[in-house]
Structure 1
Amino acid sequence: MPTNILLILIDDLGWTDLACYGSAFYDTPNLDRLAGEGMLFTDAYSSCPVCSPTRASIMSGKYPARVGVTQYIPGHAIGRLQDVPYFHGLPIGEYSIARALGDGGYQTWHVGKWHLGGARTTPERHGFDVNIAGLGWGMPQNGYFSPYGMANLPDGEEGEYLTDRLTDEAIRLIEARDSNRPFFLNLAHYAVHIPIQPPPGLVDKYRQRAADMGLDKQDVIVEGEPFGCEHLHGERVLRRIRQSDAAYAAMVENLDANIGRVLVCLSEQGLDDNTLVLFTSDNGGLATSNRREGVPTSNAPLAEGKGWMYEGGTRVCQMARLPGMIEPGSVCRVPVTSTDLYPTFLEAACCLPRPDQHRDGVSLLPLFQGESTLARDAIFWHYPHYANQGGRPAGAVRRGDWKLIQHFEDDRLELFNLRDDEGETTDLAATHAGIVQELHGLLSAWQQEIEALIPEPNPDYRPPRLEPGIDPAEV
């Protein structure tokens, strides 16, 4: 029997939101155990700092700029630069990983968040046999408690919790599967995206923990520079510098418990040894906002978070388990990204590769088998938009330990050595001109090759009226 594939895709989970990645505030015993039973990736990346583009890259095996989905759907914001056009759904012409696996004999199921377009670009139209709760929305329509208001998820009893319910649905599919065929389950939880609505019973635990750690008496949110997008002019970026939000912590622990339930189901069904479990997130944690309640976590020591081109926006938790291939407790430090999942799943399924489709991905199976390199020179990002979280249009490239960020507003270049400075605190561009030139050339050539759209100046831009204490250079 070919290998079953379980992709667990979490929404807005930060790189340090799990205990196995260094969190001292959140309890995640099931995911910690998954890491111990498989491989933990220290340098895994989402292909974009926001959700829809990363999801498009997972489904297509292509960078978001190549597939034409570069912004969350339907985002729109302008500032010094105009917005650039992008598809408001995963184009039907893309031969998705679900379709490829389905054509290879797999049962294909989607449970949870889709956010890749509405009626014309549903999971069903992209090759999934079953779609439960996958809509064009990027967050739960009515929040995390039933009634949900979702056309393809019947309401449960009043007060039923969405993360629990989606887990129930995933378990039901596994238990009712055709045992003569392998399955691909895309379990894409809406958690831990806003609104921050935890289930009852856990919040008090984390309030007490915050008090025990002295965090309840600290102001862990700091005020920064003004926003760059026009609709938030006059407001400043707020940043959380410590993990201490009890409600968010409760959502994380509930998510962990539900993933534990799915793993128990695999074990009870005798599927552990023949199922690739891959866990990851669509972007970094939500660590910046214009509202105090909109910054539930911190990605420290990484800089910034969702919506930003810095590490906090794109470096994500990722782990994989496949007994007999992946050494338990192994750690992989090779940079990998979302586009790699498509060819990885094909190879794990013993399906023929489709290099014209997954042209920006590399199979991770060599890493699973203990290799220490991949046949790839660099990883690229392109986010030519303003983010609601404060991030501004930018592109980036990472090769080896070096990362270059190009800021599109002023074409400023920043250079960081991530081996020595994973928090991107020291810009080395002024002292390493040769590396800057080399990486900028690499990034520019890639942008031309994939026909990446670069935002143009906004002729109607009106700078915000400066408040006392605002440095004009900040705006």
Structure 2
Amino acid sequence: MKYISFYALALIALGGCRSVETKTSVSQPPNIVFILADDLGWADLPLYGNRFNEAPNITALARQGMVFENAYAANPVCSPSRASIQTGQYPARIGINDFLPGHWRPYEKLKVPMNKTQFLPLSYETIGETLKRAGYTTGYFGKWHLGRTEKHHPKNQGYDTSVVHRGGKFFNYNDDMAPTTEFPDDKILSEALTDMGVDFIETNRNKPFFLFLAHYDVHVQLDAHNDQIEKFMKKPKVEGYPSNAVYAAMVQNIDISVGRIMTKLEALGLDDDTIIVFFSDNGGLVSRFDEIPLLAQSKLTYYEGDSLQYIASSNKPLRAEKGTVYEGGIREPLIVKWPGTVKKGSRSEAIVCGIDLFPTFAQMAKAELPKNQVVDGKSFVPQLRGAEEGQDRTVFWHYPVYHHSEPASAVRQGDWKLIHFMDDDRLELYHLGNDIGETRNLADSETEKRDELYHLLSQWRKQVKAAMPTDNPDFDPLRRKEWSRHPAFGDMVKGTTSTSF
């Protein structure tokens, strides 16, 4: 009996070892959920100091993960920023420098370059394709803005399941979806997109998945349910902040979406096996560039005769807004929850950019980067694991377009940031460590740093072959602020390549 007992114990022990080995050998890579807001500013969320908007679920996500203080979009508007996320490349290298098709002021001092194409070419390997190669099931739901025609939609860019929101509606949007949907007319868009995301998680619960949930909130025209708006209309305003109730309701809708995704993962027992990343595509909008009301027609009565018909938000203490390379146009909220890897409630000062998401997701998934595609980004997995590096990193922006400002490029290296404005060839230099609001231009006093950064910026523009504005033969000082439909609008609708390059 002694020998039998010993033998039985040995078998149990051996079986236990084999059980551990088997579990390890078949362990799956983590699921990844990426939630992208539209036009949500760094200063719009309570976790970054906002005292009017409400986002308890996003705050809860932050408590469970890491918050980045120096996260940036690769461009101050949507299409270039989204192209950078999909490819890991600077938008200037891709040749998509403005939203598709772009802004156009025909009588300005400079003639701005058109986008190289009016879609993201299929020749690029997207993050969807990279993770699909690594065994992930991939889904994309929401705003795409990287090609209007079906040929260039996510379903042909590495996403197994996708529904694209092509229009600008928050209600009654079924015909603006590709493929068309059958949601009730009074179901708000954020809820519908989240419904699809939740269904995708449920369907693919037993295999590794990558969910890209791309909201249209908080983009204009601002719209939300009346009861939500009325809730914030009754809330006391915060001094120094516009406290727009429609905008606050849209922030709340994003927050509700985040909460629903977190709840579904918990209900399915996937919480510990899923990474959640929350980001925005560019800085917050203060007011429309064309100076028209930014509320949906049906919501104008809430602010009849009030300046809040024209003002969405504020990025203070950051300077300026979407469509500029000042901090208000490019600094973003970024939260990463990675159970078992990221320290809960941690914050990082590392400088990260939208171009970094591609290599970061690839490393999370243990996927190989594409061999024949330049990846400008750098994985920030080391920072997620606690490395205190990346604060002296150099990153670049190129926005050669008249929008909320003049055509400009910028570089940040550590705490220093240089902006080159092309309209009059001026340089502005700021020390963000001491002046996050970019209020003190040090270009004339810190000439050595100014020249060093300008050299870096000039060399980078040559390296990526950045398209530059040229003198405009139709320049008219009296008409320079006039807006016109972009000449490449037809190319965008047809899904053809622009001939401007």
Q: Counterpart in 2 of 1:277?
A: 276
1:437 paired with 2:451, answer: yes
Alignment match of 2:171 (pick from 136, 144, 158): 144
1:144-223 matches, cutoff 5 A:
144-177=171-204, 179=206, 181-209=207-235, 212-213=236-237
Q: Counterpart in 2 of 1:371?
A: 387
1:132 paired with 2:163, answer: yes
Does structure 2 conserve the Cα–Cα contact (< 8 Å) formed by 1:288 and 1:306? Answer: no
The offset of 1:149, in angstroms, is 3.3
Q: Counterpart in 1 of 2:120?
A: 90
The offset of 1:258, in angstroms, is 1.6
Q: Secondary structure at the match of 1:333?
A: strand
Does structure 2 conserve the Cα–Cα contact (< 8 Å) formed by 1:303 and 1:311? Answer: yes
Q: Counterpart in 2 of 1:5?
A: 32
Does structure 2 conserve the Cα–Cα contact (< 8 Å) formed by 1:48 and 1:54? Answer: yes
Query: Which TM-score applies when normalising by structure 1?
Result: 0.88
Does structure 1 conserve the Cα–Cα contact (< 8 Å) formed by 2:359 and 2:375? Answer: no
Provide the rounded CA distance (Å) in 2 between the counterparts of 1:411 and 1:34. Answer: 43
Provide the rounded CA distance (Å) in 2 between the counterparts of 1:85 and 1:133. Answer: 25
1:50-74 deviation digits (Å, cap 9, x = unpaired) = 0000000000000001111111011
Q: Secondary structure at the match of 1:288?
A: coil
The offset of 1:255, in angstroms, is 1.5
The offset of 1:463, in angstroms, is 1.1
Q: Secondary structure at the match of 1:201?
A: helix
The number of equivalent residue pairs is 433
The offset of 1:365, in angstroms, is 0.6
Provide the rounded CA distance (Å) in 1 between the counterparts of 2:155 and 2:183. Answer: 23
Provide the rounded CA distance (Å) in 2 between the counterparts of 1:178 and 1:257. Answer: 21
Q: Secondary structure at the match of 2:476?
A: coil
Q: Counterpart in 1 of 2:253?
A: 254
Per mean C-alpha deviation after superposition, the further-off stretch among 65-74 and 282-291 is 282-291
Alignment match of 1:460 (pick from 466, 474, 497): 474
Does structure 1 conserve the Cα–Cα contact (< 8 Å) formed by 2:37 and 2:254? Answer: no
Q: Which has the larger radius of gyration?
A: 2
Provide the rounded CA distance (Å) in 2 between the counterparts of 1:426 and 1:191. Answer: 33
1:17-416 matches, cutoff 5 A:
17-78=44-105, 79-86=108-115, 87-119=117-149, 120-134=151-165, 137=166, 140-177=167-204, 179=206, 181-209=207-235, 212-213=236-237, 242-289=241-288, 290-292=291-293, 293-354=309-370, 356-357=372-373, 359-374=375-390, 377-387=393-403, 390-416=404-430
Identity of aligned residues (%): 40
Per mean C-alpha deviation after superposition, the further-off stretch among 147-156 and 306-315 is 147-156
- Matched residue type, 2:237: M
Provide the rounded CA distance (Å) in 1 between the counterparts of 2:441 and 2:173. Answer: 48
- Matched residue type, 1:275: T
Does structure 2 conserve the Cα–Cα contact (< 8 Å) formed by 1:52 and 1:71? Answer: yes
Provide the rounded CA distance (Å) in 2 between the counterparts of 1:381 and 1:158. Answer: 40
Provide the rounded CA distance (Å) in 2 between the counterparts of 1:375 and 1:13. Answer: 24
- Matched residue type, 1:53: P
Q: Which consecutive unaligned segments of at least 5 residues does structure 2 have? A: 1-27, 294-308, 482-501
Provide the rounded CA distance (Å) in 2 between the counterparts of 1:123 and 1:372. Answer: 36
The offset of 1:358, in angstroms, is 5.1
Aligned CA-pair RMSD: 1.8
Provide the rounded CA distance (Å) in 2 between the counterparts of 1:255 and 1:436. Answer: 40
- Please identify which structure carries the higher helix content: 2
Does structure 2 conserve the Cα–Cα contact (< 8 Å) formed by 1:402 and 1:415? Answer: yes
The offset of 1:243, in angstroms, is 3.1
1:51-102 deviation digits (Å, cap 9, x = unpaired) = 0000000000000011111110111313211120212111111111101111
Does structure 1 conserve the Cα–Cα contact (< 8 Å) formed by 2:351 and 2:392? Answer: no
Provide the rounded CA distance (Å) in 2 between the counterparts of 1:99 and 1:59. Answer: 9
Provide the rounded CA distance (Å) in 1 between the counterparts of 2:205 and 2:61. Answer: 26
Does structure 1 conserve the Cα–Cα contact (< 8 Å) formed by 2:41 and 2:285? Answer: yes
Provide the rounded CA distance (Å) in 2 between the counterparts of 1:351 and 1:244. Answer: 44
- Matched residue type, 1:185: L
Provide the rounded CA distance (Å) in 2 between the counterparts of 1:85 and 1:23. Answer: 37
- Matched residue type, 1:105: G
Q: Which consecutive unaligned segments of at least 5 residues does structure 1 have? A: 216-240, 468-475
Provide the rounded CA distance (Å) in 2 between the counterparts of 1:68 and 1:440. Answer: 21
Does structure 2 conserve the Cα–Cα contact (< 8 Å) formed by 1:61 and 1:357? Answer: no
The offset of 1:103, in angstroms, is 1.1
Provide the rounded CA distance (Å) in 2 between the counterparts of 1:153 and 1:320. Answer: 32
Provide the rounded CA distance (Å) in 2 between the counterparts of 1:80 and 1:115. Answer: 29
